[in-house]
Amino acid sequence: DTGVSQDPRHKITKRGQNVTFRCDPISEHNRLYWYRQTLGQGPEFLTYFQNEAQLEKSRLLSDRFSAERPKGSFSTLEIQRTEQGDSAMYLCASSFRDRESGELFFGEGSRLTVL
């Protein structure tokens, strides 16, 4: 297994457009997380799944953001009507719930630039 993969790695879009990011977690991991990170800040929690169930969504997240994990494997994060403030690195991470620590394994991220 090659780890967590994210696609695309970079996305430049115009304000008002919709964008979708895909994350493929490590295959045996049952938990999948989305975070957003801007320069000089730590990763900010967006949402997470256990298998196909979305267990929590950040209250800071507007209704323009939606995430799915339809078959409990890959996940997509969609941002509708993008705004310049959405420009950030979107990080996906996965973990195995039954491990003692459940540390996160991160993908390389999808960098979004909204013009």
33 binds another protein (CB under 8 A): yes
User: Is the Cβ–Cβ distance between 88 and 73 less than 8 Å?
Assistant: no
34 binds another protein (CB under 8 A): no
The answer for 51, left when phi > 0, alpha when psi is -120 to 50, beta otherwise, is left
68 binds another protein (CB under 8 A): no
The CA distance from 101 to 82, in Å, is: 36
Kindly state the DSSP code that residue 101 receives in the 8-state scheme.
S
User: Is the Cβ–Cβ distance between 23 and 92 less than 8 Å?
Assistant: yes
Question: Of the listed pieces 14-22, 60-68, 80-88, 97-105, which binds another protein according to CB under 8 A?
Answer: 97-105
74 binds another protein (CB under 8 A): no
109 binds another protein (CB under 8 A): yes
Q: Which amino acid is at 19?
A: V
User: Is the Cβ–Cβ distance between 72 and 35 less than 8 Å?
Assistant: no
Q: Which of 37, 76 has the CB closer to another protein?
A: 37
50 binds another protein (CB under 8 A): yes
Size of the site for another protein (CB under 8 A): 25
Choose, by CB under 8 A, the member of 75, 107, 110, 114 that binds another protein. 107
